[in-house]
Chains A and B, each alone.
Chain A
Amino acid sequence: MKYLILTLMGLVMFTPPVSARPVSYPEGWTVMLNNDGDKNTAHVHYSPTAKTSIGYKVENWRDKEMVLNVVQMNNLLKRWNKKDSQANAYLKSGVGVAYSDAGDFDGKIEPAVFTGLALDWEDRRFFTSYENRYTEAGEIDDFYTQSARVGVAPYIGEYGDLHTWLMLQVEHTPEAKDNFTVTPLVRLFKDVHLLEAGMNTRGEVLFNYVFRY
């Protein structure tokens, strides 16, 4: 396992990073539902331009017993369009409130903010990404997370086909007991629907769904 993690970290460090597309096309709406071993999230955003999206996000951190309700803004800092590939750098930030059910903080509501950088690179065969985030929720909690993905498409489909990606995700949360989590997953993508499913090394299910229109 140690060698697997080191290899993945190496891949992330020495290859250009992947695509979560936190900004849609101009006047596009996106609905994102993410579920993994730590949290369940729902995020709806609107992109007035190809460089910005603004939306509302709810995150339920199960073990932390904390729910974040935030207005989130994503900004495309830079895009590199090449003939056969695309790379992006995004700034993702949110501001809102955190509600806790945990121990001494039971019933407590605190202002909450987060910010992070997301980088991606992809062509039609390969995909890599990296993103980090620092979250501050007043007296309730503050934490840093980072994650990276590598992916490969077993076949290359045309526009309108069902696209399949096999991916490996590594998450790192320094404060956590098991601070590295590895999740193999499959991404299926057709028309306006994107679905991801996998299971991490702790046996927890990942299930994500994105709808864009």
Chain B
Amino acid sequence: MKKLTLLLTALILVGVTPAYAGHHEGETHETKTEAAVQSGDVHVSVNGLVCDFCARALEKTFGKQESVEGIDVNLESKVVTINFNDGQTLDDETITKLITDAGYNVEGIHRVK
């Protein structure tokens, strides 16, 4: 029991301490993304986004699209922001299909004018 307590204590300390440092990085990243929102960007509300694996799945999916410059996944708001290359976009039907094929459900799509 003593060994177990020591092991768990060590792991919790290792896990929790850097996590808060990492959280600040996340906040900075979000702020940058919000500032970078521009005309033509698409905000997609997605159901089922509960962890980093989900976010990574969508990054991989949209990363293969030539028209997409990058995406930002906000796990708190469950909103995926898609940034497109100049003059390019994807229609709602394609966005919905890509997200559905990745294993998630689209709740709504909002285009920044």
**B19 in contact with A164 (CB, 8 Å):** yes
> Is chain A's interface secondary structure helix, strand, loop, or mixed overall?
loop
Interfacial residues of chain A within 50-89, with CB under 8 A of chain B in the complex? 50-51, 76, 79, 81-86
A26-B61, A199-B7 known; A49+B101 contact, CB < 8 A? yes
Which residues of chain A are near B75, meaning CB under 8 Å?
A: 124, 158-159
**A161 in contact with B23 (CB, 8 Å):** yes
Interface size class of A (residues with CB under 8 A): 35 or more
Complex Cα distance, B8 from A186, in Å, reads: 7
Closest residue to A192 on the B side, CB-wise?
Answer: B56
Cβ-based interface call for A152 (8 A): no
Chain A's nearest CB lies how many Å from the CB of B52?
A: 6
Cβ-based interface call for B87 (8 A): no
A25-B103, A188-B14, A188-B15 known; A158+B76 contact, CB < 8 A? yes
Chain A's nearest CB lies how many Å from the CB of B6?
A: 10
B56-94 near A? 1/0 per residue, CB < 8 Å: 110011000000000001111010000000000000000
**A124 in contact with B53 (CB, 8 Å):** no
**A50 in contact with B11 (CB, 8 Å):** no
**A122 in contact with B60 (CB, 8 Å):** no
Complex Cα distance, B51 from A123, in Å, reads: 8
Chain B's nearest CB lies how many Å from the CB of A127?
A: 9
B82-113 near A? 1/0 per residue, CB < 8 Å: 00000000000000000001111101000000
Interfacial residues of chain B within 1-16, with CB under 8 A of chain A in the complex? 3-4, 7-8, 11-12, 14-16
> Is chain B's interface secondary structure helix, strand, loop, or mixed overall?
helix
Closest residue to B78 on the A side, CB-wise?
Answer: A83
Contact partner of A163 among B51, B56, B61, CB < 8 A? B51
**A81 in contact with B47 (CB, 8 Å):** yes
Cβ-based interface call for A162 (8 A): yes
A49-B101, A161-B26, A162-B18 known; A184+B8 contact, CB < 8 A? yes
Complex Cα distance, B60 from A154, in Å, reads: 28
Chain B residues near A (Cβ < 8 Å): 3-4, 7-8, 11-12, 14-16, 18-20, 22-23, 25-27, 29-30, 47-57, 60-61, 73-76, 78, 101-105, 107
Chain A residues near B (Cβ < 8 Å): 19, 21, 24-28, 49-51, 76, 79, 81-86, 122-124, 154-164, 166, 184, 186, 188-192, 197-199, 203, 212
